[in-house]
Amino acid sequence: MKKILILGSSGSIGVNTLNVVRKFPDKFKVSGLTVASNINLLEQQVKEFNPEFVVVTDKSKARELKSKIDNLCEVLSGCDELVKVSKQRDYDILLGAIVGFAGLSPTLEAIKRGKRIALANKETLVVAGEIVTKLVLENNAEILPVDSEHSAIYQCLVGENLNEVEKLILTASGGPFLNKEKSFFENATVDEALNHPNWKMGNKISIDSATMMNKGLEVIEAHWLFGLPVEKINVVIHPQSIVHSMVQFVDGSIKAQLGLPDMKLPIQYALTFPERLQNDFKRTDLPMINTLNFFEPDFDRFECLKLAFDAIKIGGTAPCILNAANEVAVDKFINRKIKFSEISELISKALDKIENHSDPDIETIFECDKITRELVSSLK
């Protein structure tokens, strides 16, 4: 029986994780759940999964929940408690499904304890990939990717030698604006941008898919997870989202992992690796799907993808600047303060204006995140 601490249990990945846990009551036990403020869903989750504790980072929401379910489990509140439970409580696997930079601190604590981290929160690797991968090695921790592309690559690499990899091929659906002209981006609405053709996800990653920043963040994530130079990481557009990613080896052979666009499978794999457990999830019917297409990405229309490649090539704090600027810009777009086309403009400005630090320590990363947010918040 593995005990799981789920950070971000009310989100798209959190809910899907509980959908997996529900199927295997003799394999998994939920030790703790955390949310920012969605206490209505958390209350239902507590009643069903009976965790020992929950954390609600919004303190007034935590008080509200406490008054309702005090007798069922311990209710903790605030961001400090999020880090504390990761550092001190009893669990085997941390499922990191908080969105954004906020996922970094609790993940670092789990790594320091040598835990398995089933990592959905790609921003952790984007902003602090070098520090994180070094800590993983030092503490004998494990990162199992939940992101479907990285899960696919992980699965393709089982039994293989990393030195024999020629390149990683990350597939990208292209998002809702794949076939739109650049001029369309000027007036693209929030609802249009949130309307992803294949995946149902949280708001931030849905906007990142529309700008293709999501794929850029995934290139950086893959660079750190698999220890390969960015020159060996390619992106191809694959609108059907059936081939989740591929690895090409030095003899020219390509291995791919296929499946329906459903996060339950990569989540289950990250929880059970190296085992594969029988499940009753819907199977991929290839004759029904019939056609799989692949295209080159357009770096001119999807500037965020190019900015991400540039940032990882520059290295140092550039990916942290990229990430923080993106988080603030996406938030501004969702709140109708800027146009869709201004997201990439703000990120580009931040990368130009903020000084890059090579080989940053963790304090420098936190400082860089803070000053980038301040700058981008103040920009139009």
Residues contacting 273, CB < 8 A, separation 6+: 144, 154
Calpha distance 192→210 (Å, rounded): 9
**Residue 262 interacts with Mg ion (CB under 5 A): yes or no:** no
**Residue 259 interacts with ligand NDP (CB under 6 A): yes or no:** no
Q: For helices 203-211 and 213-226, give the axis angle rounded to 10 degrees.
A: 100
**Residue 120 interacts with ligand NDP (CB under 6 A): yes or no:** yes
- State the minimum distance, in angstroms, from the CB of residue 272 to Mg ion: 20
- State the minimum distance, in angstroms, from the CB of residue 194 to Mg ion: 16
Q: Residue 119 or residue 165: which is nearer to ligand NDP going by CB?
A: 119
**Residue 147 interacts with Mg ion (CB under 5 A): yes or no:** yes
User: What is the side-by-side order of every strand in the sheet holding 74-77?
Assistant: 74-77, 53-56, 28-35, 2-7, 93-96, 116-119, 142-145
Residue 57 touches which of ligand NDP, Mg ion, none (Cβ within 5-8 Å per kind):
ligand NDP
**Residue 208 interacts with Mg ion (CB under 5 A): yes or no:** no
Strands 2-7 and 28-35, sheet pairing = parallel
Distances (CA, A) of 371 to 5, 350, 355, 379: 31, 10, 10, 12
Residue 8 touches which of ligand NDP, Mg ion, none (Cβ within 5-8 Å per kind):
ligand NDP
**Cβ atoms of 62 and 77 closer than 8 Å:** yes
Near ligand NDP by CB under 6 A: residue from 81, 123, 327, 331 = 123
**Residue 199 interacts with ligand NDP (CB under 6 A): yes or no:** yes
**Residue 81 interacts with Mg ion (CB under 5 A): yes or no:** no
**Cβ atoms of 212 and 175 closer than 8 Å:** yes
The first and second tokens of residue 81, run together, are 């408690």
Piece of 48-56, 145-153, 256-264, 268-276 that binds Mg ion (CB under 5 A): 145-153
**Can you give the length of the chain in residues?**
380
Near ligand NDP by CB under 6 A: residue from 38, 198, 234, 348 = 38
Cα angle value 247/121/273 (rounded, 5°)? 55
Residue 307 touches which of ligand NDP, Mg ion, none (Cβ within 5-8 Å per kind):
none
**Residue 320 interacts with ligand NDP (CB under 6 A): yes or no:** no
Piece of 98-106, 182-190, 270-278, 323-331 that binds ligand NDP (CB under 6 A): 98-106
Could you list the residues that contact ligand NDP (CB under 6 A)?
8-14, 35-38, 57, 97-99, 102, 120-123, 147, 199, 201-205, 263
